């Protein structure tokens, strides 16, 4: 008597997860990726932006091929040198680079 009851209970437990998976709606990836931005910050300097300002900035960054064009030349040179240092560290991890 006990063995058939355990067998039936095992079948119920095995079927239940598949039944619940079929009832959930399959949302498209585009819907899952959407974000509602309530507290936007500038990716350039970190200052708070309104949603309208954030949308304008994102559009400008996507259309402008070189967003760092207006930076101070010394800052641009420093960013370039940091990139070179990072590349050197990845190529020569055993050297004591700063």
CA distance 43 to 61: 10
Q: Record the pTM.
A: 0.35
pLDDT-based confidence at residue 12 (cuts at 50, 70, 90):
low
pLDDT, tens digit, 9 for 90 and up, residues 18-65? 555 555 567 777 667 776 666 778 877 888 888 888 888 888 888 876
Query: What are the residues whose beta carbons fall under 8 Å from the beta carbon of 54, sequence distance 6 or more?
Result: 37, 40, 42
What are the E-state strand segments in the chain?
Answer: 40-41, 48-49
């Amino acid at each position: 008597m006990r063995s058939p009851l355990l067998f039936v209970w095992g079948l119920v437990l095995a079927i239940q997860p598949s039944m619940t998976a079929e009832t959930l709606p399959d949302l498209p990836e585009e819907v899952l990726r959407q974000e509602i931005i309530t507290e936007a910050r500038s990716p350039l300097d970190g200052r708070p932006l309104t949603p309208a300002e954030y949308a304008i900035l994102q559009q400008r960054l996507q259309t402008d091929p070189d967003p760092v064009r207006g930076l101070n030349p010394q800052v641009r040179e420093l960013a370039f040198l940091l990139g070179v240092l990072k590349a050197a560290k990845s190529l020569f991890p055993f050297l004591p680079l700063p």
